[in-house]
Structure 1
Amino acid sequence: MNFKKVEFLLSAHAIGQLPEPLYPDIAFAGRSNVGKSSLINKLVSRTNLVKTSSKPGKTQSLNYFLVDEALYLVDLPGYGFAQVSQKTRQSWQGLITRYVETRETLRCIVVIIDVRHELKQLDRDLIDWLRYLQVPFLPVYTKADKLSKNDQFKNAAALDAGLTLKARDRVIFSSKTGLGVGELRTRLAELAGAGDGGQS
């Protein structure tokens, strides 16, 4: 699968606006400002396909991108702190809940977690919920370039323990250095049933 062959498709503010389920969905979730936009941009070898922002809560819809006429990447609104009203946050949560519980072509949710910090309750809650729903998920520990190699592994091991994961169950990632990009592409292509995703 060629992750460089990508185009923005649409922004959905309601379930009825989702595209036809022609291809598998891979969704991306993470707390606000955890590096989600940068990760997706790195994954598809673009600099600004997904707009990055220092203002939490920038993403307010389910943003769909079509990869290689074979896969939908779905950028979900960040959870946790966001500079928006409580009513808006509740509407996002309702939209995400309906999406995750009803989208039959959802293959996996990539859960993005900042490797520099100890496990946050919101991240644990999300993964517990996905386990309960039996929705496949792949934790990706981002911002690895901001730590030494030793601290990367030490912090990752602590996150693994908190989430009861094995090291093989997640990916350590840096959108700055490209660490983990090839592994993530391969995993997502396999989840989508599209074979090897190893595009450089």
Structure 2
Amino acid sequence: MMSTVPQTPCVGRPRAFDADDALAKALEVFWRKGFEGTSLTDLTQAMGINKPSLYAAFGNKEQLFLKAIELYEQRPCAFFYPSLEKETAYQVVESMLLGAATSLVDENQPHGCLIVQGALACSEAGQAIKETLITRRRDGEQALCERLQRAKDEGDLPADADPLLLARYVGTVLQGMAVQATNGICPGELRKVAEIVLANFPKNKG
């Protein structure tokens, strides 16, 4: 039985690769090398496809990177946004920091954080990607700020707590932990960093 593809004037052969698997392989390359450090040859070799197939399935390198970012944030081990669902502000931050201490140095994946390190410094050509990652980080900070503000409104944080400052503090620590992870710090040392932050995290005295 022939299948038809009405959107195109001619029916080509079906793709001889698994797009989800290819995207996962592209994600790993971007994660290890960053956006600008990754070449099209790096991608096609890792994905097991040629350049025309890459363009047909994913668009250009920038579009592929953005798809990889979406996949990155949906990983089962992603810890930031799921942590926002914890019952208390302390548990939210504890889940984030301890999740980072484990995930950022997981031996089964590249170390560090793609959202933090994927495009810290870019040429003019990569500026849009850099801005996209800046926006993602700011979105995370805003989401944490809103969660901490709710905690303050509910009496879960002290009345003098500053949700925005706390969110920036936690975000700064998480980003620093990501850099340390790529420096080869061991999981136990990252956990100690998390524990120092948690020991000083403001709690409702009631």
TM-score, length-scaled by structure 1 = 0.29
Hey, which of these two has a bigger chunk of helix by percent? 2
Greater RCO, 1 or 2 (C-alpha within 8 Å, sep 6+)? 1
Q: Which has the higher strand share?
A: 1
- Structure 2 length normalisation: TM-score? 0.29
Computing the radius of gyration from Cα coordinates, the structure with the larger value is 2
